[in-house]
Chains A and B, each alone.
Chain A
């Protein structure tokens, strides 16, 4: 392999600029991401946090961000008629001034509630303005009879991603009344595939993303060790380590993609087997997906960067303790620094 050192450089300051730009203004092409703007803010904030560069943001910007996040919250009204709607939205797409929080279709979205809480913790907020009862009610409205979670009321798909969000949310508000844990665990266990990986739901194809969501959920519910038998853990570990090509892939015989360095890597961390990966080959792949000129990471080499892959690329390197990045909490997906702040709040 004849790779110049230049290709193996970590463009730290470029990534900081990239994330700062993301927090500021995004180009027109990003308008299709409008409903999930809050997740873009999360990628940028948590990315800067991992880079230990949060203080490059002005205190005013941090305050403005907190204000904007709380503006997205749907709180329980006095009559409690909107209990099922509570949580956070991802953007102000359908908001208007002086709207009732019981306005039809104005519902929280479970993934946006999750990233909202993450962002608030990263920014050092004390969560005192978070309507925890509202959130608990919102979660209850989203859990199905089979234990899975939908994303929002009034019609939404349901799968392992939202089981994960529910567990993270409950952890962060330190209140598990919104989840029937037994049912959630049943759903997770019934989604284990014949190949040892875990899927979005029963009988579907095992996937690294849903595997992470399932394992992290079990971890957060405090039953990772008891719910999976040794044999199940071993076959799961095998499935996970087999995902490495140089970087990692999401399913057998698929292409590698930057973000799987997190989905697979974090799962291996939770199972205590992360150190078995090939660090060198992962590093080479991740660094090759950096954008030298605009910063950020793409899913593949020689491809345009985007906020999601930029964030998970940094996560992948953080898990590997590379480049002085801050440590990542492998289940909650925030820095240990932000997690320490959460612990101090409890």
Chain B
């Protein structure tokens, strides 16, 4: 479809094609004035002159279908052509599996185009068959492991068709492999959260396992934002980091190894702030002051040494902390 075939060699325009002699092409009509004019190629003008003609007559035919193939090859982002093509697919009762194969090849060539992914989604919906989709998206992700469309289509298929093999274990394994391939693949970590949310949920035992899993990858790449975001995300609203038997000490241990990880220090800062939130307000205890000092020190280290690009942010965080927990102490800086 994409390259020329024997019946329509390169160079034969529609206006020279005897098969189309009965159709009057329609030139583009910009009205009385035109801006942002494009110096279209001859092929582009020709294809769309004829596409406009069939849109006007609402022609339903094989030749019209073939014209839409040329039109989308010439301009893949033209959603109107795709819409008309879908009308023809139905009216002509075309083989949808053939179309699925076509769109698969198209997506491989144009993996960031919204229209081709949407077209595939519609086909899968019409067919009510998503059996090929996990392997298809996996293929696309091999070329670009962070392709947003691929991950979105994959989630959509899992949601609608419930392709959770072995209660989600096989999707979890897929995610695991992605993370092993590249621990910094943020899309993979997002998918992990998605899988567990939709299968086992983050219940006590699962949450413990996830904390250990994440911590393992944190030690392998201590400044990887994705794993730290995941850790904070799974704990949020479920478990207090400061109450976890090991997290605080594990963090301190990493810090003692002089690891310059901004996310590590930030995590510890958040942990301390959460503990401060839970302390009784009235208590002006030494412990509270100790925590405040520790948190402030982390802000200092972040702004001065570990995360200097965000110096203003960490100074803001420190001011905020002081205002929140020690409003009487305005001299502390």
Chain A residues with a Cβ under 8 A of chain B: 22-28, 30-38, 40-41, 44, 61, 63-65, 67-68, 71, 92-97, 99, 103-105, 109, 151-152, 154-157, 193-196, 200-201, 203-207, 237-239, 241-242, 244-245, 251-254, 273, 275-278, 281
Q: Is B242 an interface residue when CB atoms closer than 8 A count as contact?
A: no
Contact present for B236 and A35 (CB under 8 Å): no
Q: A204-B152, A244-B309 are in contact. Are A67 and B234 (CB under 8 A)?
A: no
**Stretch from B1-9, B11-19, B79-87, B281-289 at the A interface:** B79-87
A/B interface sample: 16 pairs, CB < 8 A = A28-B41, A31-B44, A64-B35, A67-B32, A93-B78, A95-B29, A96-B52, A157-B118, A157-B121, A195-B230, A203-B155, A203-B197, A204-B152, A242-B310, A244-B309, A253-B225
Instruction: Give complex CA distance A105, B78 in Å.
Output: 12
Q: Is B93 an interface residue when CB atoms closer than 8 A count as contact?
A: no
Residues of B within 8 A of A27 (CB): 38-39
Chain B residues with a Cβ under 8 A of chain A: 26, 28-41, 44, 48, 51-52, 55-56, 58, 74-80, 82-84, 86-87, 114, 117-118, 121-122, 146, 148, 151-152, 155, 184-187, 190, 193-194, 197-198, 224-226, 229-230, 232-234, 236, 266, 309-313, 316
Residues of A within 8 A of B151 (CB): 204-205
Residues of B within 8 A of A24 (CB): 35-37
Contact present for B233 and A253 (CB under 8 Å): no
Contact present for A155 and B229 (CB under 8 Å): no
Cβ-closest 9 pairs across A and B: A194-B233, A64-B33, A71-B31, A195-B229, A205-B190, A253-B184, A276-B312, A276-B313, A252-B225
Contact present for B35 and A68 (CB under 8 Å): yes
Instruction: Give complex CA distance A77, B17 in Å.
Output: 38
Residues of A within 8 A of B82 (CB): 155
Instruction: Give complex CA distance A275, B313 in Å.
Output: 9
Contact present for B225 and A96 (CB under 8 Å): no
Contact present for A35 and B79 (CB under 8 Å): yes
Instruction: Give complex CA distance A30, B230 in Å.
Output: 40
Q: A24-B37, A67-B33 are in contact. List 14 more A-B contacts (CB 8 A).
A: A26-B37, A26-B39, A34-B38, A40-B36, A64-B32, A68-B31, A93-B28, A94-B80, A95-B28, A204-B151, A204-B155, A253-B225, A273-B313, A278-B310
Instruction: Give complex CA distance A192, B29 in Å.
Output: 44
Residues of B within 8 A of A26 (CB): 36-39
Instruction: Give complex CA distance A155, B82 in Å.
Output: 9
Contact present for A241 and B29 (CB under 8 Å): no
Contact present for A205 and B187 (CB under 8 Å): yes
Residues of A within 8 A of B197 (CB): 203
Contact present for B313 and A193 (CB under 8 Å): no
Contact present for B44 and A95 (CB under 8 Å): no
Residues of A within 8 A of B187 (CB): 205, 251
**Which residue of chain B has its CB nearest to the CB of A41?**
B36
**Contact pick for A22, options B26, B36, B77, CB 8 Å:** B36
Contact present for A278 and B309 (CB under 8 Å): yes
Residues of A within 8 A of B194 (CB): 203
Residues of A within 8 A of B266 (CB): 238
Instruction: Give complex CA distance A56, B1 in Å.
Output: 46
Q: A195-B229, A238-B266 are in contact. Are A252 and B186 (CB under 8 A)?
A: yes
**Contact pick for B39, options A25, A157, A273, CB 8 Å:** A25
